[in-house]
Amino acid sequence: MNQANERLHSVRNRIAEACKNAGRPVASVKLLAVSKRQPAAAIEALYALGQTAFGENLLQEAREKQNEIGLPNLEWHFIGPVQSNKTRALAEHFDWVQSVDREKILRRLAQQRPDHLPPLNICIQVNIDRERQKAGAEPEQVAHLAGRAEECPTLRLRGLMCIPRLTEDVMEARHSFRAMKLLYDELVRAGHALDTLSMGMSGDLELAIEEGSNMIRVGTGLFGARPASRAC
C-alpha cells in the first residue's frame, strides 16, 4: 500500500471506530480532505483512491490547482476567511463555501453565483468560542444569517462550520462542539433543512463525531505534515 492509501485507510478506520462508539452509522460522517499547501499531485492521488471532496483556504492557490487538475466530479470546498473582493471567484469556481460569516458576503455570493450552476452550498462559520481574532459569526447572529441565506435561490444553506479554540483540554473542546450541536439543532427545530455540521480535524475528529459532527475536515491526517510555505 502506498502512503496516501495507508493514510486514507487509517482516517477511515478512525471515523468508523468513532461512529461505532457513538452508535452512529459510518455513512453519517462525510470526509473533507483539506489539501491546502499540498500540490495538485497529492489531490490526484487521493482522488484515485475514491476521495472526491477537497477543501482549500486560499483562493489563488486553489484556483491554480483547479486549473491544473481538471478531474470530473471533484467537489471543491472553500474553508478560509472570505474577503469581499474574492466572492466572485468563489461563486464561480467552488461547490461549497463553508466560511460565510456575515451578511455582505452572503449577498455577494448570491448575486455572483452564475445562473448555469446549481445553487452554491454554504455553511455559516460560527466563532463558537468568541475568540477575538477569529473569523466566524457570533452565535447570536446565526439564526438571522440562516434566514437571509434561505431567501436566496442561488444559495443552498447546508449547515454550520466551526474551528474551535486550539486547546489540549478535552473538556473544553467537547464543550465547544456541544455548543455547536445545540445551535445546529435549534436551527433545525426552527425549520431550516440542514444536513451539515462541519467540525473536527485531524487531532479531534473522534471527539467531534461523538458530539454530533457529520463532516470532518482532515488535512495532516491524510497528507502528512504541510510544508511551511507552499512548494513551488
Ligand X SMILES: *Cc1c(COP(=O)(O)O)cnc(C)c1O
Between 152 and 176, name the residue whose CB sits nearer to ligand X.
176
* Nearest 10 degrees: Cα torsion 186, 191, 194, 197: 0
Instruction: Report in angstroms how near the CB of residue 97 gets to ligand X at its nearest.
Output: 12
Kindly tell me which residue out of 7, 29, 36, 45 binds ligand X, with binding defined by CB under 6 A: 36
217 binds ligand X (CB under 6 A): yes
Between 52 and 220, name the residue whose CB sits nearer to ligand X.
220
37 binds ligand X (CB under 6 A): no
What is d(CA 55, CA 201) in angstroms, rounded to the nearest whole number? 12
Instruction: Report in angstroms how near the CB of residue 99 gets to ligand X at its nearest.
Output: 7
77 binds ligand X (CB under 6 A): no
Beta strands 215-218; 53-56: pairing state? unpaired
218 binds ligand X (CB under 6 A): yes
Q: Which residue has the cell 472526491?
A: 52
CA distances from 143 to 98, 139, 163, 188 (A): 16, 8, 19, 10
By CB under 6 A, how many residues form the interface with ligand X? 13
Between 152 and 222, name the residue whose CB sits nearer to ligand X.
222
Residues 165, 131: contact at Cβ < 8 Å?
yes
What is d(CA 161, CA 183) in angstroms, rounded to the nearest whole number? 11
Which listed range, 64-72, 112-120, 148-156, 215-223, lies at the site for ligand X (CB under 6 A)?
215-223
Instruction: Report in angstroms how near the CB of residue 190 gets to ligand X at its nearest.
Output: 26
Instruction: Report in angstroms how near the CB of residue 31 gets to ligand X at its nearest.
Output: 11
Between 28 and 202, name the residue whose CB sits nearer to ligand X.
202
What is d(CA 16, CA 134) in angstroms, rounded to the nearest whole number? 31
What is d(CA 37, CA 225) in angstroms, rounded to the nearest whole number? 10
Residues at the contact surface with ligand X, assessed by CB under 6 A: 34, 36, 57, 79, 163, 201-203, 217-221
